[in-house]
Chain A
């Protein structure tokens, strides 16, 4: 009413008519998408990992501050990725009270849990995209972690998710939290102890990593743990459970993906016992595909009316391309078969362990943990090429993403390789970040937003006004 009074005083109009105009204007504001390219969840919209339409930087150097718009320190340890809505970026972290707390990156096969079980603070940060300035910071929870984590893991592995109204942060055993864009806590859910770890010996706890997703007004969580695995949906408005479906699963670390097919919408999950699909509104299982290895960490992706699943552990390293929207029941392949009515193509070798693949144009790009990129024809499974990234060795946990004709690959050793998309390998640049990279970057409006071990970076070829930088 103060707004309408202001207008009437200045325009001589009837305050009642003005208040109607004001209400209409407000409705229009709410209904209009926020300006800016959103990257609302792990790997962006429906985990696609693609953000086209804007020129996106190819060359930068964080060590020399070239093409770095801003750089903001974030305390603690986290492998969660940044998400973006409009002009806001959200990141999560877990801050240990032990100053020596660390994770060990690199290629190794140790199953050990980290020793740090000191008091932690689980936090959510909101940054301004243009400057990196911290707009708000909230402590979601404080306490002793309820499980241990893997020595390479953190207590903030799950990427937050937003629908433009609320941001949801998931901290595994430490709960699910919903904030509005001003940082007000709307609700929280305690899901109990979610103990994910080594299948062979459950005393080796590794912590959870699956990220929440949003479909309509539901937050969907995949919780694959040592005992009592489940997938569940919670109402965005109050956090109450809408449905919960038990899963006969051991621990897994991939995130569920919404697949919006021509025939139906489904939630697809990757895990050890089976790849499964569910009705997102009810949690009813639609189909399952058996044939995965004993540890699974990647997230399903969809394109070309297919759903792609990659894994790599013992005893197999499968890649499955499953037809969208038509499968029902058990669609597992019979012994020796590579396709059936529902599986367009598959192979039992060549899948990846940690990085989720990206489909860009006609091709499926895989990045193996040891830094070898393999490119397939997404529709047929024909191998196009295989190349060690940058002719270097190394360790890769972050997933490849794509924008503006290029593929972005982040190595744990702190370099981002930009490779031209297409049928031939062409390395365009190697970009030093100066710190360990575990999280998958986000891309929004041509800005690459990178979460390193210590900082979040905004990278754009034409740096914005650095006087407003949050560094």
Chain B
């Protein structure tokens, strides 16, 4: 009987500890959301898990980054926050939440603490015209002239003149616009449907240009070389058609270091 009683007591203790841990972890996320520095410190001191997650996989660092609270970001990083963790809904790391809100100092700190990668951050920030982020990340240095020129192209394409000037001052060289010509017969071979599990693009030749994209969209693809195209108006995105012999096999869409492959669907 005594053993049973002890087991029940132990079970109650475990439940109590579990509820306590859950509560202080939720409080830590709330404190990060509300930019409450003292509460964050106190909850970490009480043993709250710095990498506790919401049901969508967001940790306190996501909220601190979104709010631009550099003091809380520092506290969380010093307490062991995972700087490269991604949430499970948008599949994005904390640094991109800071980029979205143009919190330059926070982005710089995260990159210094190992956030990946400075190139993808710059590509995203230049294309979106995030002045503070571009300024702060340029201070970190280490970008090749070619990389800076690519960011410049992204900024100019979207009309972010202030960011473009920053990039030029950092060494970006505006490329003279040379339009590569692909004859209509070659363009014809790219016509058709390309798909993978998630995406489906359709392309056709219209008025001597390759146009198409996701369902119902008619984006013009501007040739960069015989098999490589850039969607008009979409900065930093390229599409490369893989050709075997005279047959197009697939399309690889590249953006910010990531890529997806869509296989060409054979016409029936």
Contact = CB atoms under 8 A, between A and B. Distances in A.
A386 interface: yes
B89 A201 contact: no
B216 A203 contact: no
B211 to A, nearest CB: 11
B63 A201 contact: yes
A387 B56 contact: no
A374 B216 contact: yes
Given A372-B215, A386-B215, A200 B33 contact: no
A368 B216 contact: yes
A200 B216 contact: no
Interface string B17-39: 00000000000000001100000
B215 A314 contact: no
B89 A372 contact: no
B225 interface: no
B102 interface: no
Contacts of A199: 56
A370 B217 contact: yes
Contact of B89 (A294, A350, A388): A294
Contacts of B156: none
B218 interface: yes
Contact of B217 (A201, A294, A388): A388
A342 B20 CA distance: 44
Given A372-B217, A386-B215, A388-B217, A203 B33 contact: yes
Contact of A387 (B34, B58, B90, B216): B216
Interface string A167-207: 00000000000000000000000000000000111010000
Contact of B33 (A201, A372, A386): A201
A200 B54 CA distance: 8
Instruction: Indicate the member of A201, A294, A386, A387 with the most B CB atoms within 10 Å.
Output: A201
Interface in B30-60: 33-34, 54, 56, 58
Interface in A249-289: none
Given A200-B89, A201-B33, A314-B89, A388 B216 contact: yes
Contacts of A314: 89-90
A388 B218 CA distance: 8
Interface string B77-88: 000000000010
A200 B218 contact: no
A465 to B, nearest CB: 43
B230 interface: no
A140 B33 CA distance: 34
A337 to B, nearest CB: 17
A374 B215 contact: yes
A386 B216 CA distance: 7
B57 to A, nearest CB: 10
Nearest to B233: A393
Nearest to B33: A203
B162 to A, nearest CB: 20
Nearest to B91: A314
A369 to B, nearest CB: 11
A368 B214 CA distance: 12
A372 B217 CA distance: 8
Interface string A339-365: 000000000001000000000000000
Contacts of A374: 215-216
Given A200-B58, A200-B89, A203-B33, A372 B66 contact: no
A387 B216 CA distance: 6
Contacts of A387: 216
Interface in B193-224: 215-218
Instruction: Indicate the member of B34, B58, B218 with the most A CB atoms within 10 Å.
Output: B218
Contacts of A368: 216
A368 B218 CA distance: 15
A400 to B, nearest CB: 15
A225 to B, nearest CB: 17
Contacts of A373: 216
B200 to A, nearest CB: 8
B248 to A, nearest CB: 23
A374 B214 CA distance: 13
Interface in B122-174: none
Contacts of B216: 368, 370, 372-374, 386-388
A388 B215 CA distance: 9
B202 to A, nearest CB: 10
Contacts of A386: 215-216
Nearest to A392: B218
A429 B87 CA distance: 46
B58 to A, nearest CB: 7
A199 B63 CA distance: 13
A388 B87 CA distance: 34
B114 to A, nearest CB: 24
A201 B217 CA distance: 31
Instruction: Indicate the member of A350, A368, A373, A387 with the most B CB atoms within 10 Å.
Output: A368
Interface in B89-121: 89-90
B56 A200 contact: yes
A368 B215 CA distance: 10
B27 to A, nearest CB: 15
Nearest to A110: B100
A184 to B, nearest CB: 44
A35 B33 CA distance: 56
Interface string A228-256: 00000000000000000000000000000
A331 B66 CA distance: 39
Contacts of B66: 201
A374 B56 CA distance: 32
Contacts of B218: 388, 391
Contacts of B54: 200
Nearest to A109: B100
Contacts of B56: 199-200
24 contacts: A199-B56, A200-B54, A200-B56, A200-B58, A200-B87, A201-B33, A201-B58, A201-B63, A201-B66, A203-B33, A203-B34, A294-B89, A314-B89, A314-B90, A350-B215, A368-B216, A370-B216, A370-B217, A372-B216, A372-B217, A373-B216, A386-B216, A387-B216, A388-B217
Ranked nearest first, the 5 interchain pairs of A and B with the lowest CB-CB distance are A372-B216, A388-B216, A386-B216, A200-B56, A203-B33
Given A368-B216, A372-B215, 6 more contacts: A199-B56, A200-B56, A203-B33, A374-B216, A387-B216, A388-B218
Interface of B: 33-34, 54, 56, 58, 63, 66, 87, 89-90, 215-218
